[in-house]
Structure 1
Amino acid sequence: MAQQSHNKPVGDESLEEWEKIGFGGFGDVYKARHKTWRFDVAIKILRRDVCTSPSLWDEASVMSRTSCPSVLRLYGTYKGFLPIGGETVQRRPEGETSQEGLVMEFMERGSVQSLFEELSGPPPWPLVCRLANQVALGINCLHQLNLMHHDLKPSNVLLDADLNAKLADFGLSRVSTSCMVPKRETGRPYGSYKYMPPEAFNLSYQPVRSFDIYSYGILLWSIISGKEPYPSNNSELVENGVTRGDRPCLKEFVEKKEGGLNELVALMRQCWHHDPSKRPLIENVHKTTEAVFSKQKNGIHDAVGQVLRVPKAPIGNQPCERTMPNDTVDYRSPIQKAPISNQPCERTMPNDTVDYRSPIQIQDPIRVSPREMSWAEKGKFVDDNRSELIGKVTSVMEITDRLGEMVHNDARQTMKILSIPNSMRELYKSLHSGGDEVKAAFYDALKELHPELVEQLGG
């Protein structure tokens, strides 16, 4: 089907089978069936209290200018009244305005972020190489059109049914900056801070293409490792570390023997160089990833099949990012936590000298006896038993209540309307974002409410 013009609205009369599949600071994302096109689409709706429609059309304008297999397709725009329940569109009181949104390609397998959660780690190596190459291809497409993404991270790399990657939410950082509380009121920058270059923490900074290159380097580290960079969810600590030269630790890659790993590690170091002028151009980045993937192509079929055999998490076409009003995410346990544990062990100074420091060993603050499990041990239990817990835990909302503010209110509201297994999957997304501290708090609540299950699983 040819790409639709974003000037042609899609109305309620064309859509059925609505289902909410994602949310974030921008608003909500739904899956719906287009009656005449006969396939599913994703519809992104901006919250009325957060953004005005021009920012939505800015994103539509960017999407309409791209025609690349690694960039999400725009089919049109939406204007109508969202269904309150079921498939029937409810008529609103007279005078209430309709809502507007983008009608986009629906990505069946969610995002790279949700893939990490399903696998509890990195994808098979051939798939890692293809993801790295497809993301680079998407950025190259944008940069050749003099466009920038500004918000590269795992949740903004979406996956189709065959696990091909496509960039989404490009320009979202500009949308967020214009729609949320201005920088001058908070004194802090917006964006996905763990993927932001050091110069971006200067409030007068204006993004250029080297911003995307740095973010790609951190994203590449995440794709290879299967996890989020930096253990701390305190934006100020991360900012201070990044501006000092800290980068994600490469020590764990030393034991990996996959073909092309050395090339990708060298590439990510070039991309996250402290000096923006010394970062490579995207066409050179893509040449490297293309060469690495060309040597792994023969294994891609088996790699994709291996992943597709893993039970799939609930549909999540768009990023389900839980952001605080000032975009500072901090899922801290009520227990006082140490400032940082497991500090990143690579430091890239302005002169590009690299300091391989061992992870800082900090006494676990909640260890009360030799038999008490550490945060890391509890986190591992929660990760290792994900499938069993999703299938057997019934008191999801009771656990959520005990976690308190560690679970974002948007996630809590979504969980209330889902089935118990899907609510549990939604809760797991919060656990993954919060790190071992939140997983440990989840474990404690789980052990109190389901002691026999925890014992049965070896906890």
Structure 2
Amino acid sequence: MATGASGGQPSVLSTLPKDLPLDFLKTITDQFSPEHILGTGAFGTVYMGIAPDGQKITVKKLAENSPIARDKLFTNEVQNIMALHHENVVKLVGYCHEAQKKVVQNNGRYIVADIVESLLCYEYLPQGNLQKNLFEVSCVMDWDTRFKIIKGICQGLAFLHSISIVHMDLKPENILLDGKMIPKIADFGLSRLFGQEQTRMRTQNVVGSYGYIAPEYLYKGEISTKSDIYSLGLLILETTTVEKNCSNNEPSATQFIKSVHDNWTDEHIVSQWPHLYGDRFQQIKVCIKIGLECVEIDRQKRPSIEEIVNRLNGLWSTGS
């Protein structure tokens, strides 16, 4: 059982039910104060919550005008990750789906209505997301840390695919890092749970992050584990090269992929990291090769997550 900040005693959160009261979440976020905001996105605003015993959690308040219905986002996250326990998947510690009476305006009149708030609570990860650590800080992460992150993301995705969950929104913003820079896959609002023996599905409602959407999903609405592999390839390329996939609001990552393919030669790698050699030089080369294989237009040519994990494990050495 989790212990409080002082140690020894159970934490407040561990003694509460998973279904957390809205008043409790308001209290620990100081009434959803702007000072507690960790980030905002199309699907909601993320706050830091501080329990009375000092324990921190992340509280995501789902947006009413989200691109996907709020109830669907809530259900996806709770059903798909509530019971998951893996080192590289963010832990959902609680949720809230509660109606409160509010006075709202309707057709020029004020009425009392039940307004439902939907919130999701996760373990707090102090290093923030991969996007920030790759592109928004002055000190570039060393290669060993970035390689550890790539391996961790792949291991987390292998776990999800093994239980038939397709994430559908892999990107640097949705990879969170703990105090030891261990990556955790987060944000399962778009995730899909496949039935037994099911390998792909089709949808008319294509929703995702520009620059990371697999072409067969973008243009045909086809979803499979290979959709995640495409996004993973871009994540690997960005983490390896520390170059941003700037799609300029275009849905395709074609220009970024072409740039990596054309520019990241052996000579370029050496020029970027002249002090790297041996194992680490090989790791960078293979990560770029795997990343480019993952973003093949033909999904059948993309490697499986099991193959990717095996190849990366084969590169690991005691010196890394």
In structure 1, give the amino acid aligned to 2:127: R
Q: Structure 1, residues 64-96: CA drift from partner, whole Å, max 9, x if none? A: 1321000000111124699xxxxxxxx955645
Q: CA deviation at 1:171?
A: 4.3
User: How far did residue 253 of structure 1 move?
Assistant: 5.1
Matches within 5 A, 1:167-182: 167-172=185-190
Equivalent residue, structure 2, for 1:16 = 28
Q: Counterparts of 1:376-395 in structure 2 under 5 Å? A: none
> Counterpart amino acid of 1:16?
I
Q: Are the equivalent residues in 1 in contact too, given 2:206–2:218 (CA < 8 A)?
A: yes
Q: What is the alpha-carbon distance in structure 2 between the residues aligned to residue 121 and residue 200 of structure 1? A: 36
Correspondent of 1:268 among 284, 287, 291: 291
- The answer to whether the 8 Å contact 1:221/1:248 transfers is no
Name the structure 2 match of 1:212.
228
Residues 115-159 of structure 1 show CA distances to partners (whole Å, capped at 9, x for unaligned) of 123434752100111010000011011001110111111111011
Kindly report which structure 2 residues correspond to 1:11-410, keeping only aligned pairs within 5 A, or say none.
Answer: 11-13=22-24, 15-18=27-30, 19-35=36-52, 38-50=54-66, 51-79=69-97, 93=103, 95-120=113-138, 122-172=140-190, 189-202=206-219, 204-229=220-245, 231-235=246-250, 238=252, 241=254, 247-250=258-261, 251-252=263-264, 254=266, 255-257=268-270, 258=276, 259=280, 260-297=283-320
Q: 1:253 to 1:63 in 2, by over 3 A?
A: farther
Change (3 A) 1:199 1:79: closer
Query: Quick one: structure 1 residues 246 and 166, their matched pair in 2 at CA, closer, same or farther if it must change by over 3 Å?
Result: closer
Write 1 or 2 for the structure with the bigger share of helix. 1
State the distance in 1 between where 2:99 and 2:47 align: 13
Q: Which moved more, 1:131-140 or 1:204-213?
A: 204-213
CA-atom RMSD in angstroms:
3.0
Q: Which structure: greater strand fraction? A: 2
Consecutive unaligned residues of structure 2, counting only runs of 5 or more, are: 3-12, 31-35, 104-111, 193-202, 271-275
Unaligned stretches of 5+ in structure 1? 83-90, 175-182, 298-459
Segment of structure 1 superposing worse, 6-15 or 121-130: 6-15
SS of residue paired to 2:233: helix
The answer to whether the 8 Å contact 1:121/1:227 transfers is no
**Alpha-carbon distance in structure 1 between the residues aligned to 2:172 and 2:184:** 11
Distance apart, 1:52 and its partner CA: 2.9
> CA, structure 1 residues 246+291, in 2 after alignment: closer, same or farther (shift >3 Å)?
closer
SS at match of 2:207: coil
- CA drift of 1:282 comes to 0.7
TM-score under structure 2 normalisation? 0.74
Q: How far apart in 1 are the matches of 2:215 and 2:318?
A: 34
Identity, % of aligned positions: 24
Contact 1:44–1:102 (CA<8 Å) still a contact in 2?
Answer: yes
Look up the match of 1:373: none
- Secondary structure at the aligned position of 2:223 is classed as coil
Give yes or no for contact 2:166–2:224 (8 Å, CA) kept in 1: yes
Task: Specify the SS of the correspondent of 1:169.
Answer: coil
Q: Could you tell me whether the CA contact under 8 Å between 1:12 and 1:81 is conserved in 2?
A: no
CA shift at 1:55, angstroms? 2.4
Task: Tell me, yes or no, if the aligned pair for 2:80 and 2:191 is still in contact at 8 Å.
Answer: no
Distance in structure 2 (CA, Å) of the matches to 1:6 and 1:264: 43
Q: Is the 8 A contact 1:80 1:100 kept in 2?
A: yes
Q: Sort the Cα spacing of 1:266 and 1:117 in 2 relative to 1 into closer, same or farther, 3 A.
A: closer
User: Equivalent residue of 2:61, what SS?
Assistant: strand
Kindly state the Cα deviation for residue 228 of structure 1 after the two structures are TM-superposed. 1.6
Change (3 A) 1:137 1:296: farther
Asked whether the equivalents of residues 129 and 293 of structure 1 are also in contact (C-alpha less than 8 Å), the reply is no
Where relative contact order (Cα < 8 A, 6+ residues apart) is larger, the structure is 1
Aligned length: 271
The alpha-carbon deviation at position 224 of structure 1 amounts to 1.1
